[in-house]
């Protein structure tokens, strides 16, 4: 399934943001609650740990939702993921295409120029943010806001993920600005019930879509 059809909650599981809980259990609860895609983000684990976790999350998501690995094309391929998501400082899109095979490739962008460049270079999906202020990253980029989000959605023909400081209330604003998906980490992984938090995040897209008809 290509990202062009992905809509709703873009769940990101990071072991550092699971409140001390098993990330596999957190991911299982999220998938049960509802999401359009699940991504592993593991900035601190060594390669062996990240591969083990990626393979475990691949089994959680298999035949349910697409699975994406952050940063690492090699690990995405090893665990039979649907996609890989790359930052501005990661491997270039052109280089990733040489080894990615059929993997979908998403690119993080932080302004209009980066978003257009990623789309023109052949990205399958764009992450744009931070749309709102975020505490998940130690040194976040400047907040881009809803107006830029709306402009980017209109300027590209691939799905745009709103990321950064997103919760249920803010996701409705991002969907209203045209975002195809909204990503969140701690708002769901640290919630008392990741299952219910994911359900609320995923339902927000349908509610905004229905209200706009």
Residues marked as catalytic = 41, 108, 137
- Report pTM: 0.95
CATH number of 3-211: 3.20.20.70
Distance CA 160, CA 54 (A): 24
Instruction: Report which of 37, 27, 4 is spatially closest to residue 182, judged by C-alpha positions.
Output: 37
Beta strands per DSSP E along 113-159: 125-128
| Model confidence pLDDT, tens digit, residues 7-41 | 999 999 999 999 999 999 999 999 999 999 999 99
Element spanning 77, H or E: helix 73-78
DSSP annotation of 140 = P
Please say if the pLDDT value at position 114 is more than 60. Answer: yes
Helix (H, G, I), strand (E, B) or coil at 52: helix
- Tell me the pLDDT of the chain averaged across its residues: 94
Domain borders along the chain are 3-211
């Amino acid at each position: 399934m290509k990202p062009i059809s992905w809509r709703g909650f873009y769940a990101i599981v990071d072991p550092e943001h699971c409140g001390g809980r098993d990330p596999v259990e957190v991911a299982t609860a999220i998938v049960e609650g509802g999401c359009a895609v699940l991504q592993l983000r593991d900035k601190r684990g060594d390669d062996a740990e990240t591969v083990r976790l990626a393979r475990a999350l691949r089994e959680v998501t298999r035949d349910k939702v697409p699975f994406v690995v952050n940063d690492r094309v090699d690990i995405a391929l090893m665990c039979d993921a649907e996609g890989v998501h790359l930052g501005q400082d990661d491997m270039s899109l052109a280089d990733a295409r040489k080894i990615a095979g059929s993997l979908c490739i998403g690119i993080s962008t932080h302004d209009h120029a980066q978003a257009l460049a990623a789309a023109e270079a052949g990205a399958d999906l764009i992450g744009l943010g931070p749309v709102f202020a975020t505490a998940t990253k130690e040194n976040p980029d400047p907040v881009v806001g809803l107006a830029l989000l709306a402009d980017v959605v209109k300027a590209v023909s691939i799905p745009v993920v709103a990321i950064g400081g997103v919760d249920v209330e803010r996701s409705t604003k991002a969907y209203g600005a045209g975002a195809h998906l909204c990503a969140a980490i701690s708002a769901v992984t640290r919630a008392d019930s990741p299952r219910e938090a994911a359900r609320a995040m995923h339902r927000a897209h349908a509610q905004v879509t229905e209200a706009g008809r």
